[in-house]
Amino acid sequence: MVDTASSVTTTSGAARATDQGAPQLNVAALADQLLGTWKKERLEARVTAAKPELHQVNGLSMDEHRTRVLGQLKILVDEGAIQRAYPTSVGGGDNHGGNIAAFEELVTADPSLQIKSGVQWGLFGAAILHLGTAPHHKKWLPQVINLEIPGAFAMTETGHGSDVASIATTATFDEATGEFVINTPFRGAWKDYLGNAALHGIACVLFAQLITKGVNHGVHAFYVPLRDASGNFLPGIGGDDDGLKGGLNGIDNGRLHFTDVRIPRENLLNRYGDVAEDGSYTSPIDSPGRRFFTMIGTLVQGRVSLDGAAAAAMKLGLQIALTYGSERRQFVAGDGKQEQVILDYQRHQRRLIPKLAETFAVTFAHEQLLVKFDEVFSGRDDSDQNREDLETLAAALKSLSTWAALDTLQECREACGGSGFLAENRLTGLRADLDIYVTFEGDNNVLLQLVAKRLLGDYSRKFKGADFGVMARYAADRAGDTVLHGTGLRQLIQNVSDLGSTGRSVGHVRETEYQRELLTGRVSTMIATIADRLKDASKLSKEEGARLFNENQNQLIEAARAHGELLQWEAFTEAVESTSDSGNKQILTWLRDLFGLSLIEKHAAWYLINGRLSGQRAEAVTAYVDRLVARIRPYSLDLVETFGYTPAHVRAPIATGAEKARQDEARAYYEQLRRDGNEPVHEKTLKAKKR
Amino acid sequence: MVDTASSVTTTSGAARATDQGAPQLNVAALADQLLGTWKKERLEARVTAAKPELHQVNGLSMDEHRTRVLGQLKILVDEGAIQRAYPTSVGGGDNHGGNIAAFEELVTADPSLQIKSGVQWGLFGAAILHLGTAPHHKKWLPQVINLEIPGAFAMTETGHGSDVASIATTATFDEATGEFVINTPFRGAWKDYLGNAALHGIACVLFAQLITKGVNHGVHAFYVPLRDASGNFLPGIGGDDDGLKGGLNGIDNGRLHFTDVRIPRENLLNRYGDVAEDGSYTSPIDSPGRRFFTMIGTLVQGRVSLDGAAAAAMKLGLQIALTYGSERRQFVAGDGKQEQVILDYQRHQRRLIPKLAETFAVTFAHEQLLVKFDEVFSGRDDSDQNREDLETLAAALKSLSTWAALDTLQECREACGGSGFLAENRLTGLRADLDIYVTFEGDNNVLLQLVAKRLLGDYSRKFKGADFGVMARYAADRAGDTVLHGTGLRQLIQNVSDLGSTGRSVGHVRETEYQRELLTGRVSTMIATIADRLKDASKLSKEEGARLFNENQNQLIEAARAHGELLQWEAFTEAVESTSDSGNKQILTWLRDLFGLSLIEKHAAWYLINGRLSGQRAEAVTAYVDRLVARIRPYSLDLVETFGYTPAHVRAPIATGAEKARQDEARAYYEQLRRDGNEPVHEKTLKAKKR
């Protein structure tokens, strides 16, 4: 990367600190660590993503952009880039983790390309794969893979997004003809926001209530042809274009509706539920609820890949903003001669460097998610427990990382000022495209509520019949201390032991175990507190129970967020522990401390109220965050270099050293002026002399 | 507005609560109050802004959008909508407050229209008005007003945005010809991001270092013709198109550079500094520093109008999201029959209703800013003190409101899910357009630092020679209590007096004086603390002093934010106090409490650390915020109605009752099915019966 005013410079992949004793960053080793388990697939995908023909072009009309992205999907097919996840029986690689790892790298080329690929192969194709059976795979997957059948994933309706179980489209079995009859009963039941629906989809996997013999067996998936060879809707099918969106305009999102559309019985994707010729329904899963969640659970890969794509977008944003921030100068400070590099301002460091730490946390947590995803989908460990863990982990991490990506890209945009607003510098476009990530594949708030319910469930299983005293002790055990909520006693003890010594306070807060204790204790106490408040819900009327639950909804979601933060912190800590290079281990430890202490700082009120942190220690946290951002600042360019993105991925003029060239030119101009004696004297200087 | 499930309905502008004793909202009276001092001008501008020919059209190319917005400016001219601020001598109305009030309403039509108007008449024209003198006014203003001269405001350079004093463009007086010679010495000195520069500007007000007789007198403004009648650059002038941006693409932002461009001496806008024929420089303001800030200060109206436009955008966003949230249903709750309206979920209320309260705060604070602006610019009170107050107020409020607008629009977007992402529903477009508001007319972080420096200056003037003990007492006086920082003593007293009674804790926190005490005490203590840390800076070397300042920069900016929040809260409180309608007074009090307590909740860690709030009271704050959002929820649709925007201003299909119509249709369908006995039985129900 470009040279900077920092005290650390990079030589052939390794960093050298000019300060004696400062740890050195081994860029190559950390870059390798970040690539993770599916390094090969990631590197292959980055070669693909670096190709200009796959890059987003600013200023295309929606129609041009849609056409371009469809063409890009064909390029991926030609490159053989998309078979990885499919079974060997249809020419695939049965490589689930590697497929997602490669797929999420496409976000650097164009998020529309990533998401349209995701619609085609991660949703439409994956639904046929996971919800269908061998005949379906044989019949359709080869053409899905080679894009002869572009398809839509017709699950969401205008009226139901988060609550998929309540969709209103029906597929009623007609015993007379052996067909399913698809119907859209009202406007709210139109399928909506579907990629490939407005233009390119010639088929879809349709989710509908399966009705046979007068019984509704719940939501099932069906393969439904949509358009004929000329691209016209088949009889009984209609639709609409969703038109321009806030981003992702390379994707032709649209609406679909169905009136007495007949499909053969065999088009039911029947892995988890089947209808025989006589109309009788059978399923390997007896409980309709469990069956539904099993079916939906097979589609978790969307959330997994969004989590990884969010990490990639954060890396791009920070590479752009930290590069610019290391070159840009504004306002004379100190010596009165040269303007100060803006990344040397404390505020600028405070804005960007905690987000750099968070990006590492998101990356390490995502790697663990991907490993678990691969375990389940490869069959290495697809126990119910592990599947459920995967779903909870995906829901928690996707929520946190997609929000973090928006916040990071916005902070990067603002940190680059007017140049950050130019489309060519990509920050606004990436943010606009990623905006929808926070509400699709599950609205983040709804996902976090699911996580919280899982936590409550685990909790109550563990403490069935226990009274609140036991629960509180559980929380206390995990926090490694007695809960003294409200009494302030523990806080006073901290005050006394830390008295007069910020150093001692800091010493405590930077210990790994202390951070773990605080973060873990918060989750368990929050869950215990809510569980206690809800413990009588079952005795209430349904309505009163719902009211009680609703009164705790906000805190419940905050508890899930705390859980997700803890998962990220634990993943980061495991990554630190597995790092062998001593310089990298030290610098990663600082980053992990910055991540952990930023969380504790953010939630300091909770820790103070609950007697887990004295005022003095809370102040020590803030002081130490200040010290950490300054300490990490000299490594910031090397750290973004470990992300491994090249100019072909970053493609922002302000991240190319252009600003440094301008600064150098300006400095040289003024120096020349001074040397030549042509510098005008300032009126201020004259006036000062006169005095 | 549309009917909802709320317990409050609107009848002819007045609200009626079905709960006995609930206060009633008088929509008409509150709407009138919100219109403020320049009601007439606002209403006129809203009539204008409602015209379809002024509305943003989604999906236009950048070129089409730019052409359309230029045409819209001509429509404004034809309507006589833009003379208000100009002097009567050139046909204006000399109505400064009314002009800004009207201007900021244009944001509802298209933010590009608002900002391009602002470039033409609020920056380019206003610079001629405020920095020029009578001959300039006579010569150019009529054609500026009627758009015969579209112009750019050429201040910012690629290399200098926030630090205007350091721009590098030079205007050197040539005594031989009596001309100024304009030069751009290097690439970083190109004028950049200027509206009207890429295409439409035929002249500009150029800011450059005025050099005469070998002396640089600092930044001055010059009138410089740019293009000939065919639209080609005049000799010596070149430029570039900034191209596509993250928003505001109806404006032709671009770059300009100058090589030996000669303009007559008379083109210096010479109100604050002049050059005689012999090249001698004179100014009515002796100090170059004060002169610079006086000149820049005349341009404060940009910040004032962005503050008002942010308020308008927040209103549009909330009207859309609260309308949709009152109609949209998702997930069955309680009775198990009907899905719940999403605004009845606590989380949804927590996401949107505090932002509704903040919108009122921003609106009332903006009204005070506008009154002060009018005082200064009408000459009713243009004392140095009042000018300085105006600038500080504008910097603080613009920063907070433009950030709040982005946060609000984003929360509204997410709260509307996929439909919020459709361009037709406007939330993404408004957010994209307003994104740049947080860094232009002053980067918000830089503006807040200016505010903080002013606070520090006031503070040190008041305590010249005082030691820290005096300063702390000052802080304590304002907070109405002794500062017991670190000892926890006050907190213990609170704990004891509140013991066992959340009701008593709540009773305290909802008192106006208690909120004032907390908010005021925080600002003064933060400033006192930083002042103490910086008190030795003058004894240090320049470099060490700068380092010390930098180590406190983040907290300094947070102190300025706290000051801005206090200003908003005080403005809200004054508005409540001036409300005569008793129902409105009660509901506004709840909103003000919600605004104040949300601030205290956000900063709870500070209050706890500094012994201003006990843990119990901090929890009471959160509990009361929960109660307030639920209490205000039934009024939310009536409250957005008081904003006074009609469907012609809102123009979002999801805010038209469309969702309610879909919900009604769905409900009717299922009811009919039941009545006809055609409802399929659910497998779940069958299984439950068998058990």
Using alpha carbons, list the distances in angstroms from residue A673 to A476, B185, B579: 69, 11, 63
Q: How many CA atoms lie within 13 A of A233 on its CB side?
A: 15
CA distance A75 to A332: 51
Instruction: Identify the band that residue A82 occupies on the pLDDT scale cut at 50, 70 and 90.
Output: confident
Domains of chain A: 151-284 (2.40.110.10), 472-641 (1.20.140.10)
The yes-or-no verdict on residue A487 having pLDDT over 50 is: no
Identify the segments of chain B with pLDDT beneath 70: 1-20, 334-336, 463-504
Whole-number Å distance between alpha carbons of B595 and B86: 37
Structure tokens at A350: 């405070």
* DSSP at A190: S
Please tell me which residue of chain A has the smallest CA distance to B335: A543
- Phi–psi pair at B613, nearest 5 degrees: -140, 135
> Which residues of B are the active-site residues?
441
Q: B339: which chain A residues are within 8 Å (Cβ-Cβ)? A: 163, 166
Contact partners, residue B144, CB within 8 Å, separation at least 6: B120, B121, B124, B125, B128, B151
Q: What distance, in Å, lies between the first and last C-alpha atoms of chain A? A: 48
Q: CA of A164: which chain B residue's CA is closest? A: B331
**Cβ separation B439–A414 shorter than 8 A:** yes
Backbone dihedral angles phi then psi of residue A644, each to the nearest 5 degrees: 85, 10
Q: Residue A426: its chain B contacts at CB < 8 A?
A: none
- Percentage of chain A lying above the pLDDT 90 cut: 84
Q: Across the interface, which of B162, B347, B406 has its CB nearest the CB of A557?
A: B347
**Three-class SS of residue B132?**
coil
Contacts of B151 (CB under 8 A, 6+ apart): B119, B120, B124, B125, B144, B196, B201, B202, B203, B204, B205
Nearest to A206 by CA among A217, A187, A220: A220
Token pair belonging to B34: 């919100």
With CB atoms and an 8 Å threshold, state whether B214 touches A680: yes
Round to the nearest angstrom and report the end-to-end CA distance of chain B: 48
Backbone angles phi, psi at B467, to 5 degrees: -90, 180
The contacts of residue A101 (CB under 8 Å, 6+ apart) are A36, A37, A38, A41, A42, A45, A308, A370
| Residue recorded with tokens 């030795």 | B536
In a mutagenesis test of the B interface, which of A174, A550, A558, A621 is the best target, namely the one with the most B β-carbons within 10 Å? A550
Residues of chain B contacting residue A59, judged by C-beta atoms under 8 Å apart: 61-62, 243-244
| Nearest chain B alpha carbon to A686 | B215
Given A417, A551, A626, which is nearest B346 (Cβ)? A551
Interface probe with A: pick from B174, B430, B448, B550, most Cβ of A within 10 Å: B550
Encoding tokens for residue B100? 């800004």
Helix, strand, coil percentages for chain B (3-state, nearest 5): 60, 10, 25
Q: Which of A434, A445, A554, A663 to mutate to test the interface with B (most CBs of B within 10 A)?
A: A554
Are A683 and B215 inside 8 Å of each other by CB?
yes
Contacts of B216 in chain A (CB under 8 A): 680-683
Query: According to the model, what pLDDT value does residue A460 have?
Result: 79
Over 70: is that where the pLDDT of A483 sits? Answer: no
Contact at 8 Å (CB) between A557 and A449?
yes
Q: Which residues of A touch B351 (CB under 8 A)?
A: 445
Please judge whether A161 and B680 are an interchain contact, meaning their C-beta atoms are less than 8 angstroms apart. Answer: no
The predicted structure's pLDDT at residue B13: 33
Q: How many helices (H) and strands (E) does chain A have?
A: 27, 16
Paired with B21 in beta bridges are none
CB atoms inside a 10 Å sphere around CB B48: 17
Q: Does A665 sit within 8 Å of B186, measured CB to CB? A: yes
Nearest by CB: A609 against B406, B551, B608: B608
- Count of A–B CB contacts within 8 Å? 317
Of the residues A609, A614, A676, A685, the best mutation for testing chain B's interface (the one with the most B CB atoms within 10 Å of its CB) is A609
Q: How far is A602 from chain B (nearest CA, A)?
A: 9
Which residues are registered as beta bridge partners of A157?
A160, A191
C-alpha span between B369 and B366 (Å, rounded): 5
**Nearest chain B Cα distance for residue A216, angstroms:** 5
Q: Which of A161, A557, A686 sits opposite B418 (nearest CB)?
A: A161
ipTM value greater than 0.85: yes
Active site residues of A: 441
Task: Kindly report the nearest CA distance between residue A173 and chain B, in angstroms.
Answer: 12
Residues of chain B contacting A217 with CB distance shorter than 8 Å: 683
Q: What is the DSSP string of A534-563?
A: HTTGGGS-HHHHHHHHHHTHHHHHHHHHHH
Asked if A186 and B216 come within 8 Å (Cβ–Cβ), the reply is no
Residue of B nearest to A601 (CA): B605
Q: How far apart are CA A644 and CA A34, in angstroms?
A: 9
**Lowest-confidence segment of A151-165, A459-473, B347-361 by average pLDDT:** A459-473
Stretch A460-476: mean pLDDT: 55
* CA gap A519, A512 in Å, rounded: 11
- pLDDT value, residue A549: 92
- What pLDDT is stored for residue B8 in this prediction? 39
Mean pLDDT for chain A overall: 91
Residue among B414, B665, B680 whose CB faces A186 most closely:
B665
Cβ atoms of residues A613 and A498 within 8 Å: no
Contacts made by residues A452-459, CB under 8 angstroms, sequence distance 24+: A452/A527, A452/A530, A452/A556, A452/A557, A452/A559, A452/A560, A452/A563, A453/A556, A454/A388, A454/A392, A455/A523, A455/A527, A455/A559, A455/A560, A455/A563, A456/A527, A456/A530, A456/A531, A456/A534, A456/A556, A459/A527, A459/A528, A459/A531
Per the DSSP assignment, residues forming a β-bridge with B207 are B221
The pairing of beta strand A170-174 with beta strand A179-183:
antiparallel
B487 vs A62, higher pLDDT: A62
Which tens digits make up the pLDDT trace of A181-234?
999 999 999 999 999 999 999 999 999 999 999 999 999 999 999 999 999 999
Query: How far away is chain B from the Cα of A139, in angstroms, using its nearest Cα?
Result: 31
Torsions phi, psi for A410 (to 5 deg): -70, -45
Q: How many CB atoms lie within 10 A of CB A665?
A: 15
Residue B484 to residue B476: CA distance in whole angstroms: 9
Closest Cα in chain A, distance from residue B377 (Å): 29
Asked if B187 lies within 8 A of A662 by C-beta distance, the reply is yes
Q: Is B547's CB within 8 Å of A334's CB?
A: yes
For residue A509, the surrounding DSSP H or E stretch is helix A502-509
Q: Where are the beta strands (DSSP E) in B506-616?
A: none
Can you tell me the distance from the alpha carbon of A501 to that of B83, in angstroms, rounded to the nearest whole number?
A: 64
What does the pLDDT read at residue A323? 98
Q: Do B247 and A188 touch (CB under 8 A)?
A: no
Question: What number of other Cβ atoms are within 10 A of residue B614's Cβ?
Answer: 27
CA angle A131, A132, A138 (to 5 degrees): 145
φ, ψ for residue A275, nearest 5 deg: -120, 125
Contact B486 A616 (CB under 8 A): yes
DSSP A609-667: HTTSS-HHHHHHHHHHHHHHHHHHGGGHHHHHHTT---HHHH--GGGTTHHHHHHHHHH
Nearest residue in A to B63, CA atom: A59
CA geometry: angle at A337 spanning A334 and A341, to 5°? 65
Please provide the DSSP assignment of B301-363 as one string.
Answer: HHHHHHHHHHHHHHHHHHHHHHHHHHH-EEEE-TTSSSEEEGGGSHHHHHHHHHHHHHHHHHH
Q: How far is A33 from chain B (nearest CA, A)?
A: 33
Residue with tokens 């679909």: A256
Q: Residue B12, class by beta-carbon neighbours within 10 Å (0-12 exposed, 13-18 middle, 19+ buried)? A: exposed
All residues of chain B having their beta carbon less than 8 Å from the beta carbon of residue A610 are 615
Which residues make Cβ contacts (< 8 Å) with residue A419, sequence separation at least 6? A324, A425, A654, A659, B158
Identify the residue whose tokens are 């990629």. Answer: A195
